[in-house]
Amino acid sequence: MTQHAQPDALIHLTAAGVSLVLDCMDGQLPAVVHWGAALGDLSTEDLRALVTSGLEPVVSNAVDVPIRVAVLPEPHAGWSGKPGISGHRDGRDWSPKFTTTSVDTTTDAGDTTSTVVVEAADTTAQLAVRIEIELTAAGLVRARAAVTNTGGGTYTVDDVTVALPIPSRAREVLDFAGRWGKERTPQRSELVVGIHEREGRKGRTGADAATVLSVGVPGFGFAQGEVWGVHTAWSGNHRHHAERLFNGKQVVGGGELLLPGEVRLGTGETYQGPWVYGAYADGLDAQARRFHTHLRSRPQHPTSIRPMTINVWEAVYFDHDLARLTDLADRAARLGVERFVLDDGWFRHRRNDFAGLGDWYVDEGVWPDGLTPLVEHVRAAGMQFGLWFEPEMINEDSDLARAHPEWVMQADGRLPIRSRHQQVLNLAIPEAFAYVLERMTSIIAEYRIDYVKWDHNRDLVEAGFPGGGAAVHEQTLAAYRLMAALKDRFPGFEIESCSSGGARVDLGVIEHTDRVWVSDCIDPLERQQMNRWTMQLLPAELLGSHIASGVNHTTGRWHDLSFRAGTALFGHLGIEWDLAKATETELRDLAEWIALYKDTRPLLHGGDLVRVDQVDPTQNVYGVVSPDRREATFFLASLASSEVSLRGRITFRDLDPDTRYRVDPVLIGTGADGVREPVWWSGERVFTGRVLTTVGVEAPATNAERVVPFRLTAVG
Residue 594, amino acid: I
616 is catalytic: no
Is 520 considered catalytic here?
A: yes
CA R_g for the chain: 27
Terminal Cα distance for the chain, rounded: 44
Task: Calculate the CA dihedral of residues 680, 686, 691, 694 and round it to 10 degrees.
Answer: 70
- E strand or H helix at 359, and its extent? none
* Planar angle of CA 386, 389, 391, nearest 5 degrees: 145
CB atoms inside a 10 Å sphere around CB 389: 24
As a whole number of angstroms, the distance between CA 185 and CA 42 comes to 41
Amino acid letter, 72:
L
Contact (Cβ atoms closer than 8 angstroms) between residue 623 and residue 603: no
The upper half-sphere exposure of residue 352, i.e. CA atoms within 13 Å in the direction of its Cβ, equals 4
For residue 592, give the 3-state DSSP assignment. helix
Alpha carbon distance 679, 313 (integer Å): 44
- Pairing label, strands 697-698, 423-424: unpaired
CB 343 within 8 A of CB 312: yes
Phi-psi region of 615 (alpha: psi -120 to 50; beta: other; left: phi over 0): alpha
The C-alpha angle 389, 456, 555, rounded to 5 degrees, equals: 105
The DSSP output letter for 459 is -
Measured distance CA(369)–CA(78) in Å, rounded: 70
Q: Is 255 helix (H, G, I), strand (E, B) or coil?
A: strand
Closest residue by Cα to residue 499 from 484, 488, 486, 483:
483
Q: Say which amino acid occupies 499.
A: S
Burial class (CB in 10 A: 0-12, 13-18, 19+), 430: exposed
Residue among 93, 122, 359, 455 flagged as catalytic: 455
On whether the CB atoms of residues 453 and 517 are closer than 8 A, the answer is yes
Distance CA 399, CA 197 (A): 42
Say how many CA atoms lie within 13 Å of 158 toward its Cβ.
13
Residue 594's closest CA among 339, 314, 326? 339
Total residues belonging to the chain: 716
3-state secondary structure of 585: helix
Comparing CA positions, the residue from 291, 263, 237 lying closest to residue 534 is 291
Q: What are phi and psi of 525, to 5 degrees?
A: -65, -40
For 233-367, list the strands marked E by DSSP.
238-244, 250-256, 263-265, 270-272, 276-282, 309-311, 339-342
3-state secondary structure at position 587:
helix
Among 520, 523, 560, 589, the active-site one is: 520
Q: Report helix, strand or coil for 567.
A: helix
- Annotated catalytic sites, by residue? 455, 520
